[in-house]
Chain A
Amino acid sequence: RKEVEQDPGPFNVPEGATVAFNCTYSNSASQSFFWYRQDCRKEPKLLMSVYSSGNEDGRFTAQLNRASQYISLLIRDSKLSDSATYLCVVRNTGNQFYFGTGTSLTVIP
């Protein structure tokens, strides 16, 4: 069983749309959670950490449900520059970072 499972996508949405990505993790002892963004042929970069109380950064909202082992990312008012692959990442007690399969987002003019 994979450590992290994620919506496969791809998602093709018009500018201004709201889009949501989901992710589940298998290890209930996982310690911390992140969303990374990866542009084509670039390295992954942190988009935001995910906290138990939920957190927001501008147009981006992340939620964590520890009971269901579920993480989500909501992007409001999508911009062309949001087109990328979004990766759910889980850090466990051994300090390993495991990646979900990634969801490809294309925002269309």
Chain B
Amino acid sequence: DTEVTQTPKHLVMGMTNKKSLKCEQHMGHRAMYWYKQKAKKPPELMFVYSYEKLSINESVPSRFSPECPNSSLLNLHLHALQPEDSALYLCASSPWTGKMDTEAFFGQGTRLTVV
């Protein structure tokens, strides 16, 4: 199983809603990531989890709250978002080993629209 699975694929939410994005991988990877991608832009790193602990937060606003319940799951909780937060949210995973040339595997993303 070499997949990263994200749900839902599409999400429309109001600015007062609370929603969560989910990500799952069963490759035994101990590093997991959230990226945000706007149209015609590259993915921008938001958070890095290593061994279920948050290791990097790239100055992301607190209306985005990540959570890693176990080594296979990664959530992104959303609250009080703004229309400019509309984007494709990508989850990725990678082995956390001394072998640094291992790549990141990406899920298909959740396309989020904030209205």
Contact = CB atoms under 8 A, between A and B. Distances in A.
A53 interface: no
Contact of B109 (A34, A43, A97): A43
Interface residues of B, number: 25
Contact of A94 (B42, B56, B90, B92): B56
Contacts of A100: 42
Given A32-B102, A91-B100, A96-B56, 10 more contacts: A31-B101, A43-B90, A43-B108, A45-B106, A94-B48, A95-B96, A97-B33, A97-B45, A97-B92, A102-B41
Interface string B88-115: 0010101010001111111111000000
B83 interface: no
A87 B108 CA distance: 16
Interface in B26-41: 31, 33, 41
B55 interface: yes
A93 B49 CA distance: 14
Interface in A36-63: 42-46, 49, 51
B46 to A, nearest CB: 11
A97 B55 contact: no
B42 A95 contact: no
A95 B103 contact: no
Contact of B42 (A31, A42, A46, A99): A99
